[in-house]
Amino acid sequence: MSKMHVKMTVNGKEVEALAEPRTLLIHFLREDLKITGPHIGCETSHCGACTVDIDGKSVKSCTVFVAQANGADVTTVEGLVNEDGTLGVIQEMFREHHGLQCGFCTPGMITRAHRLLQENPTPSEEEVRFGMAGNLCRCTGYQNIVKSILAAADHLNAQKEAAE
């Protein structure tokens, strides 16, 4: 199959490449761009370990062809660090509240949490659990992930208030 020219923005940088249309976005990110934070945990679109942000939406990048993402603006967990390279607030809260163990679901969890908190800056525990339901975790039992996200919401809201 012939390759196509793809162009997209990933973590703020323009990238261009030749790729087969059938290439899944997760493979394009990991294998062509060497952005290996997003992971592959299943082949049935359930686990959410491959979650990235595409044009302001949380998307499972295992269920998007690179052809469909041509022209898109993509953010992965690597793009969620602070400008100086230190951990972003959500990342820092996952560390502080032990929201990860093996770390395999974590990039997808954090990227999803990022979008969830953009849409609902003051979620209840129930809203966090429902809002994270597309992301499976084998290690934590979710409790500390919920704590991490609620703590991140508090920090982000405090930052916003301080800035106003």
Partner 1 sequence: MIPAGFEYHRPADVASAISILKQHGDEARVVAGGHSLIPMMKLRMADLAHLVDLQDIGEMKGIQVGADTAVLGAMVTQHEMITHEGLAAAIPLIREAALQIADPQVRYVGTVGGNVANGDPGNDMPGLMQCLDAQFELAGADGSRTVAARDFYEAAYFTARDDEEILTRIHIPVPSAGTGYAYEKQKRKIGDYATAASAVLITMDGGTCASASIAMTNLADTPIWAEAAAAALVGTSLDEAARAAAVAAAIDVIDPVSDNRGPVDFKKHVAGVILRRAIDRAASRAS
Instruction: Return the residues of window 61-100 that contact partner 1 according to CB under 8 A.
Output: 62-65, 67-68, 70
Minimum CB distance to partner 1, residue 24 (Å): 8
Q: Choose among 13, 23, 56, 27: nearest CA to 5.
A: 23
Minimum CB distance to partner 1, residue 104 (Å): 16
Q: Choose among 33, 42, 39, 66: nearest CA to 51.
A: 39
Please pick, from the candidates 9, 15, 17, 20, the single residue that binds partner 1 as defined by CB under 8 A.
20
Instruction: Pick the stretch among 14-22, 96-104, 142-150, 155-163 that binds partner 1 (CB under 8 A).
Output: 14-22
CA distance 99 to 152: 11
Q: How many CB atoms lie within 10 A of CB 152?
A: 26
Q: Choose among 148, 131, 2: nearest CA to 89.
A: 148
Minimum CB distance to partner 1, residue 2 (Å): 8
Q: Is 9 in the site for partner 1 (CB under 8 A)?
A: no
CA distance 14 to 150: 33
Where does the chain show beta strands of DSSP type E? 4-10, 13-19, 51-54, 57-60, 73-75
Minimum CB distance to partner 1, residue 59 (Å): 6
Question: Smaller CB distance to partner 1: residue 27 or 155?
Answer: 27
Residue ranges in contact with partner 1 by CB under 8 A: 1-2, 4, 20-22, 24, 40, 43-46, 48, 51, 57-60, 62-65, 67-68, 70, 112, 116, 131-134
